[in-house]
Amino acid sequence: MHLDFFHRTPDLEKLILEQDAIFVGGGNTKSMLAVWRDWGLDKLLKTAYDNGTVMSGVSAGANCWFERAVVDSWAEDLKVIDCLGFLEGNYCPHYDEEPQRRPSVKKFLEEGTFNSCYASEGNAALHVKNNNDFISVDFGDDKNSYEVSLAGNLVNEEAFTKVSIRP
């Protein structure tokens, strides 16, 4: 089932609470969250999550589950925005795919915007269970997910245990 907010919107409560798993695609994180909050979807998703529904996503669809995320919702710069907060911490997708990602995460760490940040390279996913069990899933090209922090003035990228899934 595909939920599209730009046509007639179905009974969201019935739709969301019937799902075993929810996948959210990419796009503009800021705009997506604003529409969700306006429709009350954020609260329905939290109820579903608390009831055991598996939440997943890519890019903006991964950002949304964390407390805050590094987003490209504006044309000029990457920014950190508040997200749904189902998962503790901060997140950055496309960590190796877009040249401004790594330097921006470093800048946010240096400025104290956050103390650490989870980051996933392209073709990698971060599997999180119970906010404390992290595994990186590699979909090809030896990609990984990390917990990124500062050690002095140096960026520390601690890779998570990796499981590879080859097509």
Q: What is the model's pLDDT at position 75?
A: 86
Are 138 and 166 in contact, with CB atoms under 8 Å apart? no
* 3-state helix vs strand vs coil in the chain, percent to 5: 25, 35, 40
Q: What is the model's pLDDT at position 69?
A: 98
The residue behind tokens 């940040």 is: 117
Q: What letter represents residue 147's amino acid?
A: E
Q: Cα separation of 57 and 20, whole Å?
A: 14
Residues catalogued as catalytic: 59, 94
What domains are defined for the chain?
A: 12-164 (3.40.50.880)
Q: Decide: helix, strand or coil at residue 37.
A: helix
The residue behind tokens 């919702």 is: 73
Indicate the length of the chain as a whole number.
167
The pair of three-digit structure tokens given for residue 109, joined into one six-digit string: 């760490």
Mean pLDDT in residue range 97-118: 97
Residues 27-45 have pLDDT tens digits of: 999 999 999 999 999 999 9
| φ and ψ at residue 44, rounded to 5 degrees | -65, -40
- Rounded to two decimals, the pTM is 0.94
